[in-house]
């Protein structure tokens, strides 16, 4: 019994356009926020590079969402360790840490929707906070990165949920 070779699909023009738009937005956020973006991107990159070859099955589908959110969570941890202040960040560490563990242990649409909902709630909190921060301050720059990461996480969670749904419907029923 031989496995079917995986066919690599070429990106569509829409996917290319979205990629270019994402790169431009990422560059602009990086120019504005500076070092604040470097830590979560570096952590997400390390997670991605170290895990993309060892995850299989449904974990491959959810891994981009996992890597971005792990990078964000890692940034929280670095900030807590550097400032030696836990505060309300403990909520993010516990809730998002548990949800990310759930995602790795049992990748599925339910956990992706839970993560998307949690990220949406946190996005609303961050949106309010950024409205209270003066432009150009460290708080505003940091919140800009939080918001960008949360939006990215929401989109990647929903894309992964859609792909899992498509994979479920393409599998023949087992009797």
The pLDDT value recorded for residue 79 is 86
- State how far the Cα of 148 lies from the Cα of 11, in Å rounded to an integer: 24
Contact call for residues 20 and 13 (beta carbons, < 8 A): no
Q: Please report, rounded to a whole number, the percentage of residues in the chain having pLDDT higher than 90.
A: 56
Q: What is the chain's mean pLDDT, rounded?
A: 87
Residue 30 has what DSSP assignment?
H
Gyration radius of the chain's alpha carbons = 18
Within 10 angstroms of residue 73's Cβ, the number of other Cβ atoms is: 22
Q: Which of 162, 141, 144, 142 is closest to 64 using CA atoms?
A: 162
- State how far the Cα of 83 lies from the Cα of 6, in Å rounded to an integer: 47
The pLDDT value recorded for residue 4 is 46
- Read off the pLDDT of each residue in 31-50 and give the average, rounded to a whole number: 89
The pLDDT value recorded for residue 1 is 46
pLDDT tens-digit profile of 89-124?
788 889 999 999 999 999 999 999 999 999 999 999
- State how far the Cα of 75 lies from the Cα of 38, in Å rounded to an integer: 9
Question: What is the pTM assigned to this prediction?
Answer: 0.84
pLDDT tens-digit profile of 53-71?
888 888 889 999 999 999 9
């Amino acid at each position: 019994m031989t496995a079917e070779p995986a066919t690599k699909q070429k990106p569509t023009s829409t996917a290319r356009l979205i990629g270019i738009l994402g790169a431009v937005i990422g560059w602009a956020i990086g120019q504005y926020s500076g070092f604040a973006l470097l830590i979560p991107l570096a952590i997400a990159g390390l997670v991605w590079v170290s895990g993309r070859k060892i995850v299989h099955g449904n974990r491959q589908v959810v891994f981009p969402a996992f890597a971005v959110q792990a990078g964000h969570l890692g940034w929280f941890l670095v900030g807590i360790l550097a400032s030696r202040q836990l505060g309300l960040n403990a909520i993010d560490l516990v809730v998002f840490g548990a949800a990310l563990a759930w995602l790795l242990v049992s990748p599925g649409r339910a956990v992706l929707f839970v993560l998307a909902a949690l990220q949406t709630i946190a996005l609303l909190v961050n949106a309010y906070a950024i409205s209270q921060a003066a432009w150009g301050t460290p708080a505003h720059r940091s919140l800009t990165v939080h918001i960008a990461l949360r939006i990215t996480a929401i989109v990647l969670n929903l894309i992964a949920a859609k792909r899992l749904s498509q994979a479920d419907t393409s599998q023949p029923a087992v009797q």
